[in-house]
Chain A
Amino acid sequence: SQTIHQWPATLVQPVGSPLSLECTVEGTSNPNLYWYRQAAGRGLQLLFYSVGIGQISSEVPQNLSASRPQDRQFILSSKKLLLSDSGFYLCAWSSTRIANNEQFFGPGTRLTVL
């Protein structure tokens, strides 16, 4: 069966500090991968998606970046965090075999920037 991992579960960081969130998927190959952010009481905002190693599509301009160094690894980074980066970060995967197949979400990382 497939599983998706995210870490850390919670993170408190000062403004201006760097960020690295990691997501890994097990039990599938060549998945589509997604990073979402959810501000308190709001819907999910798609930040990045990837259809393959080294292939990253960015949805909104921001001080965040994403990388996919391995097939089942997706990393979200920032060089300098802003207060507005606080939120609940979710990684998801879906099968590439079916374009609109369901997305499977990880447990999320709650980031607080102080």
Chain B
Amino acid sequence: LAKTTQPISMDSYEGQEVNITCSHNNIATNDYITWYQQFPSQGPRFIIQGYKTKVTNEVASLFIPADRKSSTLSLPRVSLSDTAVYYCLVGDNNNDMRFGAGTRLTVKP
């Protein structure tokens, strides 16, 4: 199982871009990188998934360098409603992917 390391917490202000980096030094060839968002008292919600280079959707961008040993979730122009815990998961099968402690993002006015 590929292990991931993320910052425990981050603070930002409304309108700023937030970048959350996840380290996964032992990522395997077939592993994908998946990010989830969780609000209090709710289940996590899928944000984005990628394998290499850059992936962008209507919510976020995911940057993955060539060595794939890390990845960065980028949230453009955050708002107060983006305050949540963000999880980085690595694996080629949901049955092998694990949620760590995540990064608690607090967006301030």
24 contacts between A and B (CB under 8 A): A32-B94, A32-B95, A36-B99, A42-B101, A43-B101, A44-B87, A44-B99, A46-B98, A49-B95, A88-B41, A90-B43, A99-B92, A99-B93, A99-B94, A100-B34, A100-B91, A100-B97, A102-B34, A102-B46, A102-B49, A104-B46, A105-B43, A107-B43, A108-B43
Per-residue contact bits, chain B 23-64, to A (CB 8 Å; 1 contact, 0 not): 000000000101000000111111001000000000000000
CB distance from B39 to the nearest CB of A (A): 11
- Contact for A43 among B32, B91, B102, CB less than 8 A: B102
With A43-B99, A100-B32, A100-B49 as given contacts, are A110 and B94 in contact (CB-CB < 8 Å)? no
Decide yes or no whether B15 CB sits under 8 A from chain A: no
B residues adjacent to A (C-beta < 8 A): 32, 34, 41-46, 49, 87, 91-95, 97-102
A49: chain B residues at CB < 8 Å are 94-95
Can you name the residue of chain B whose Cβ is closest to the Cβ of A91? Answer: B43
Decide yes or no whether A81 CB sits under 8 A from chain B: no
B100: chain A residues at CB < 8 Å are 43
With A36-B99, A100-B32 as given contacts, are A105 and B44 in contact (CB-CB < 8 Å)? yes
Per-residue contact bits, chain A 62-101, to B (CB 8 Å; 1 contact, 0 not): 0000000000000000000000000010101010000111
Can you name the residue of chain A whose Cβ is closest to the Cβ of B94? Answer: A94
Residues A1-54 near B (CB distance < 8 A): 32, 34, 36, 42-46, 49, 51
B91: chain A residues at CB < 8 Å are 100
Can you name the residue of chain B whose Cβ is closest to the Cβ of A44? Answer: B99
> A99-B94, A105-B43, A108-B41 are known contacts; what are 8 more A-B pairs with Cβ within 8 Å?
A32-B94, A43-B102, A49-B94, A99-B93, A100-B93, A103-B46, A103-B94, A105-B45
